[in-house]
């Protein structure tokens, strides 16, 4: 059963709990004072939902944030019943004793957030480079150590048939990526109506996305693209990227 304050409840489902996705408003916001809007359980595990949510849950190829709620290490997940992003205690920890309406302090692990934001942004950039080759994105993964974009080609690309051709195609991708990073193109996320949030890399590229991103491509460093591979009819472009230190 889900418990809430000032909300209606039907068979354990919240009807009116309103949550602000602060993680979409500012990638670099690392702490927020907010209040608990709901408490409940997910598969027997207690959770708490806060009004102003800093925590990005896993989704869209991006892993979940790490954070703290009243000093306790937590991980965010999306509750199936309520649709809220809720915080569950990290392994070995337990949520504090909370009440709905209680004022609480939340924080995120900034290093983890910026790692994820850099990889997600670099993924959009790799997609943009692939589009310039005439390819269409089929899948994406922005997890550290696994980051890759998979493309479909509209017709046979003769460059992909041999190692030299694949290296030449990869070199073209690298050139596009390096030029965009050197130009420090702005990265902007805008709500364009009907629930569509679009992320723009200057005028180079735009795509619907609910992830976190760096402010501009100049924030990216160590962008690496190994030679692409062709598997099961798809072009797989692995990549790595990090956030530039300040």
CA–CA distances in Å: residue 124 to residues 127, 185, 204, 238: 5, 12, 10, 13
> SS in 3 state form for 90-109?
CCCCCCCCCCCCCEEEEEEC
What is the average per-residue pLDDT within 57-73?
Answer: 95
Fold of 113-243: 3.30.980
Structure token digits, residue 202: 């200057």
Other beta carbons within 10 Å of 40:
20
CA–CA distances in Å: residue 181 to residues 39, 111, 130, 198, 218: 43, 21, 16, 20, 5
Across 5-14, 77-86, 196-205, 228-237, least confident range: 5-14
Q: Are 148 and 142 in contact (CB under 8 A)?
A: no
pLDDT tens digits, residue range 90-120? 988 899 999 999 999 999 999 999 999 999 9
pLDDT at 231: 87
Q: Pairing between strand 31-42 and 67-69?
A: unpaired
Q: How confident is the model at residue 1 (pLDDT cuts 50, 70, 90)?
A: very low
**String of DSSP letters for 71-139:** TEEEEEEE-TTT--EEEEEPTT-------TT-EEEEEE-HHHHHHHHHHHHHHHHHHHHHHHTT-EEEE
Answer yes or no: is pLDDT of 81 > 90: no
Locus of tokens 């080759």? 133
Answer yes or no: is pLDDT of 4 > 60: no
What is the average per-residue pLDDT within 177-202?
Answer: 93
pLDDT at 146: 96
Q: Which residues contact 162 (CB under 8 A, 6 or more apart)?
A: none
What is the average per-residue pLDDT within 44-67?
Answer: 95
Q: Pairing between strand 234-238 and 187-191?
A: unpaired
Other beta carbons within 10 Å of 146:
11
pLDDT at 195: 78
Q: Which residue has the higher pLDDT, 93 or 235?
A: 235
Mean pLDDT for the chain overall: 90
Fold of 3-108: Elongation Factor Tu (Ef-tu); domain 3 (2.40.30)
Q: Determine the distance from the C-alpha atom of residue 12 to the mean position of all C-alpha atoms in its chain, rounded to a whole number.
A: 29
Answer yes or no: is pLDDT of 8 > 60: no
Structure token digits, residue 49: 């939902």
- Please tell me the pTM assigned to this model: 0.89
Q: How confident is the model at residue 138 (pLDDT cuts 50, 70, 90)?
A: very high
Q: Are 128 and 134 in contact (CB under 8 A)?
A: no
pLDDT at 16: 62
What is the average per-residue pLDDT within 204-208?
Answer: 95
Domain boundaries, the chain: 3-108, 113-243
What is the average per-residue pLDDT within 168-194?
Answer: 95
């Amino acid at each position: 059963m889900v418990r809430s304050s000032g909300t209606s409840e039907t068979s354990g489902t919240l009807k009116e709990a309103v949550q602000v996705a602060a993680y979409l408003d500012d990638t670099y916001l690392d702490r927020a004072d907010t209040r608990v809007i709901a408490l409940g359980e997910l598969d027997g595990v207690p959770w708490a939902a806060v009004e102003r949510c800093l925590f990005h849950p896993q989704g869209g190829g991006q892993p979940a944030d790490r954070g703290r709620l009243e000093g306790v290490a937590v991980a965010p997940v999306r509750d199936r019943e309520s649709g809220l992003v809720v915080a569950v205690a990290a392994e070995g920890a337990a949520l504090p004793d909370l009440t709905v309406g209680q004022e609480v302090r939340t924080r995120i692990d900034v290093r983890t957030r910026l790692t994820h934001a850099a990889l997600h942004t670099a993924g959009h950039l790799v997609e943009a480079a692939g589009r310039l080759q005439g390819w269409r994105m089929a899948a994406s993964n922005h997890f550290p150590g696994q980051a890759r974009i998979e493309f479909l080609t509209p017709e046979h690309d003769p460059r992909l048939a041999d190692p030299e051709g694949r290296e030449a195609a990869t070199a073209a991708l690298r050139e596009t990526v390096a030029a965009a990073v050197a130009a420090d193109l702005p990265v902007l996320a805008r709500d364009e109506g009907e629930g569509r949030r679009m992320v723009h890399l200057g005028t180079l590229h735009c795509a619907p996305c609910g992830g976190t991103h760096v402010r501009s491509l100049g924030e990216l460093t160590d962008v690496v693209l190994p030679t692409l591979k062709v598997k099961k009819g798809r072009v797989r472009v692995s990549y790595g990227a990090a956030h530039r230190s300040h």
